[in-house]
Structure 1
Amino acid sequence: MKLRAAATLILVGGGGMAIVAATGVWALSGGLYGCTRADEELAPTLASLSILDAHPGQTQPEDERYSGCDEDDGFAYAGQYYRLTTSRANVLAFYRKAAAEDGWRLKGANPSPSPAPDSLAIDTSALCFEKPAAGTTAHLAVWFPSDLGDSPDDYGLEVTASHDGTAWC
């Protein structure tokens, strides 16, 4: 009887340890933190959206288009920077029209979203749109680095999305 109890204890203890180890591997590989495989695969789809190619005639693309998956917040992203060679108002008017024509719905507008002194920047998008994309909701932000005290000669477009709904402008 003692042999049977010892064998049961070893089997149950070993199975419990295997479950704990498997749970740890799952959590460390993105189960609780980071990007899911679906969101990692979503980034190239976002990078191919035509809205990222749209820009006023006076502006010029800068650098290469970027994309990836934000490991901290667990969402896919893609974006493009442009050289600001027209007024901010013209840029905002252009994207209101171009985004609507491409099926994006305006979710929010704050033409001058600079954070208050000594506060954290919560939302720096001057315009925020959303539309369905690849089985989830994509968010398009038009933003100006100068609102954060950086590069007054640029503006950016960024699209974010996540299959678990954690993306935003």
Structure 2
Amino acid sequence: MSLALVGSLVSACGHTNDRSPAQKCTDRQLSMLSQLKELAVLDQHPTTSISNNRVAVCADDGRDVQVSNEYQTLLPPADIHTFYTDVAHTDGWHALRVNDPPINDPNPQDSGQDILCATRDIDGTPVYLEVWYPDADSDLITNGDPGKVYFVDASLESRNDDTCLTE
């Protein structure tokens, strides 16, 4: 599932800012959302990063769910990568891509490049953790400047198979 769809998913079938979910979420999705919201890695951030927004959504196909936290920071992508790599490892996540920034792009904060992708199972279901910077023109930034805003997502489907599922 592409995060470019987050806005439409939020309005169609998810919920924002941890308010009660819309009727379109299946029982399985509601159960998984509840478990994803409890993941410690989603609430951890460098002390210099500020939380802007939290969104939880259900995809209307009945499969994917996603919890996403938006942060504003002055730290460079390499520092964000190191912080979340350490937190994810400590919390039992397995990195799917272990190369340090720049991954494929020397400025991931300008191009929407993932800077970390990891996975772990929750009750036998694979869950993906992705840390990424949105494109400056993506309309996903609710507060802050492009290049200073990043997202930490947990979902049942990878946001970007091209970069996330490549080891």
1:134 to 107, 123, 141: 123
- TM-score scaled to structure 1, two decimals? 0.63
Deviation for aligned residue 1:35: 6.2
Question: 1:52 pairs with 33, 42, 46, which one?
Answer: 42
Task: Work out which structure has the larger RCO, using CA pairs closer than 8 Å and 6 or more positions apart in sequence.
Answer: 2
How do 1:4-83 and structure 2 match up within 5 A? Answer: 36-63=26-53, 65-72=54-61, 74-83=63-72
Which 5+ residue runs of structure 2 have no aligned equivalent? Answer: 1-23, 106-110, 140-145, 160-167
Aligned length: 123
The two structures, once aligned, show a CA RMSD in angstroms of: 2.7
Indicate how the Cα distance of structure 1 residues 125 and 35 shifts in structure 2: closer, same or farther if over 3 A, else same: farther
**Aligned equivalents of 2:41 and 2:136: distance in 1?**
22
Greater share of helix: 1
Aligned to 1:101: 90
Give the equivalent residue in structure 1 for 2:79.
90
Q: Which piece of structure 1 moves more, 74-83 or 36-45?
A: 36-45
Look up the SS of the partner of 1:145 in the other structure.
coil
Worse-matched range after superposition: 143-152 or 67-76: 143-152
Q: C-alpha offsets along residues 118-152 of structure 1, whole Å, 9 cap, x if unaligned?
A: xxx9x942210001113311100000014766622
1:154 lines up with 2:149 in the alignment: yes
The structure-2 alpha-carbon separation of the partners of 1:113 and 1:157, relative to structure 1 and needing over 3 Å to count, comes to: farther
TM, length-normalised to structure 2: 0.63
Structure 1 stretches of 5 or more lacking a match? 1-33, 115-120, 162-166
- What stretches of structure 1 move > 4 A for 4+ residues in a row? 147-150
Q: Equivalent pairs: percent with the same residue?
A: 25
